[in-house]
Chains A and B, each alone.
Chain A
Amino acid sequence: MTTKKTVNQNIFQVIENQEKQNEEHRGIPKAKFLEKIKTLIKTPQEASVMLKNLETIYSKYKFMENNLLRQQIRVKQKIPKLEENIEMINFLKLKNEKGGSLDTRFKISNNLFVNAEIEKCQNVCLWLGANVMMEYPLDEAEQVILKNLSSAKKTLEILKKDLGFLKDQITTTEVNRSRVYNRHSIEESAERIYETLIQTNKFVESVLTDVGIEKSIFKTATSFSEIEKTTNKNIESSIKNISDEQYKIEKVVDSSLKYSDKMEFMKYRNTIDEIIKSTQKEN
Chain B
Amino acid sequence: MTNKSSFDLNNLNPLQLNSLKEQISSEYQKYRQSYTQLLEIKSLYSNTLFSLESLQPENLNQPILAPLTESLYLPGKLTNVKSVLTDIGTNFFVERSVEDAQEYFKRQTKIVEEKAQEVLKTMKQNEESLKAVNTVLERKVYQQQRKVMQQQQQQQQQQKVLKK
User: How far is it, in angstroms, between the C-alpha of A108 and the C-alpha of B44 when the chains are bound?
Assistant: 12
Verify A81–B69 contact, CB threshold 8 A: yes
Verify A117–B77 contact, CB threshold 8 A: yes
Of all chain A residues, which has the CB nearest B85? A113
Verify A124–B73 contact, CB threshold 8 A: yes
- Among A89, A92, A127, the residue within 8 A (CB) of B70 is A127
Residues of A in contact with B, size category = 20 to 34
Verify B67–A106 contact, CB threshold 8 A: yes
| Smallest CB separation, A103 vs chain B (Å) | 7
User: How far is it, in angstroms, between the C-alpha of A92 and the C-alpha of B68 when the chains are bound?
Assistant: 10
User: How far is it, in angstroms, between the C-alpha of A58 and the C-alpha of B50 when the chains are bound?
Assistant: 52
A111 neighbours in B (Cβ, 8 Å): 44-45, 48, 86-88, 105
Verify A126–B51 contact, CB threshold 8 A: no
| Smallest CB separation, B119 vs chain A (Å) | 21
User: How far is it, in angstroms, between the C-alpha of A37 and the C-alpha of B52 when the chains are bound?
Assistant: 73
B44 neighbours in A (Cβ, 8 Å): 109-111
Verify A84–B70 contact, CB threshold 8 A: yes
In the complex, which residues 107-145 of chain A have their Cβ closer than 8 Å to any Cβ of chain B? 107-119, 121, 123-128, 133, 141
Taking beta carbons and an 8 Å cutoff, which residues of B are in contact with A?
Answer: 44-45, 47-48, 51-52, 55, 64-80, 83-88, 93, 101, 105
Of all chain B residues, which has the CB nearest A121? B74
Verify A115–B74 contact, CB threshold 8 A: no
A126 neighbours in B (Cβ, 8 Å): 71-73
Q: Does A160 contact B (CB under 8 A)?
A: no
Of all chain B residues, which has the CB nearest A133? B73
Take A106-B68, A127-B70 as given contacts and tell me if A116 and B78 are in contact as well, using a CB distance cutoff of 8 Å: yes
Verify B72–A110 contact, CB threshold 8 A: no
Verify A88–B69 contact, CB threshold 8 A: yes
Take A109-B48, A125-B75 as given contacts and tell me if A115 and B69 are in contact as well, using a CB distance cutoff of 8 Å: no
In the complex, which residues 72-119 of chain A have their Cβ closer than 8 Å to any Cβ of chain B? 81, 84-85, 88-89, 92, 102-119
| Smallest CB separation, B69 vs chain A (Å) | 5
Taking beta carbons and an 8 Å cutoff, which residues of A are in contact with B?
Answer: 81, 84-85, 88-89, 92, 102-119, 121, 123-128, 133, 141
Verify A117–B76 contact, CB threshold 8 A: yes
B73 neighbours in A (Cβ, 8 Å): 124-127, 133
User: How far is it, in angstroms, between the C-alpha of A165 and the C-alpha of B64 when the chains are bound?
Assistant: 50
B45 neighbours in A (Cβ, 8 Å): 111
Of all chain B residues, which has the CB nearest A117? B79
User: How far is it, in angstroms, between the C-alpha of A58 and the C-alpha of B34 when the chains are bound?
Assistant: 39
Take A125-B74, A126-B72 as given contacts and tell me if A112 and B51 are in contact as well, using a CB distance cutoff of 8 Å: yes
Take A118-B74, A118-B75, A125-B75 as given contacts and tell me if A112 and B85 are in contact as well, using a CB distance cutoff of 8 Å: yes
Take A89-B72, A123-B75 as given contacts and tell me if A116 and B48 are in contact as well, using a CB distance cutoff of 8 Å: no
User: How far is it, in angstroms, between the C-alpha of A81 and the C-alpha of B64 when the chains are bound?
Assistant: 23
- Among B51, B71, B76, B101, the residue within 8 A (CB) of A116 is B76
Of all chain B residues, which has the CB nearest A110? B44
| Smallest CB separation, B56 vs chain A (Å) | 12
User: How far is it, in angstroms, between the C-alpha of A221 and the C-alpha of B19 when the chains are bound?
Assistant: 59
- Among B69, B77, B83, the residue within 8 A (CB) of A84 is B69
| Smallest CB separation, B66 vs chain A (Å) | 5
Take A104-B68, A109-B51 as given contacts and tell me if A114 and B75 are in contact as well, using a CB distance cutoff of 8 Å: no
- Among A103, A104, A112, A141, the residue within 8 A (CB) of B84 is A112
Verify B85–A105 contact, CB threshold 8 A: yes
User: How far is it, in angstroms, between the C-alpha of A124 and the C-alpha of B66 when the chains are bound?
Assistant: 10
B71 neighbours in A (Cβ, 8 Å): 81, 85, 126-128
Take A84-B70, A88-B72, A116-B64 as given contacts and tell me if A108 and B51 are in contact as well, using a CB distance cutoff of 8 Å: yes
Could you list some 16 contacts between A and B, CB below 8 A?
A104-B76, A112-B52, A113-B84, A113-B85, A114-B80, A115-B80, A116-B64, A116-B78, A116-B79, A119-B76, A125-B65, A125-B72, A125-B73, A127-B70, A127-B71, A141-B72
B66 neighbours in A (Cβ, 8 Å): 104, 106, 116, 118
Take A84-B70, A125-B65, A133-B73 as given contacts and tell me if A112 and B87 are in contact as well, using a CB distance cutoff of 8 Å: yes
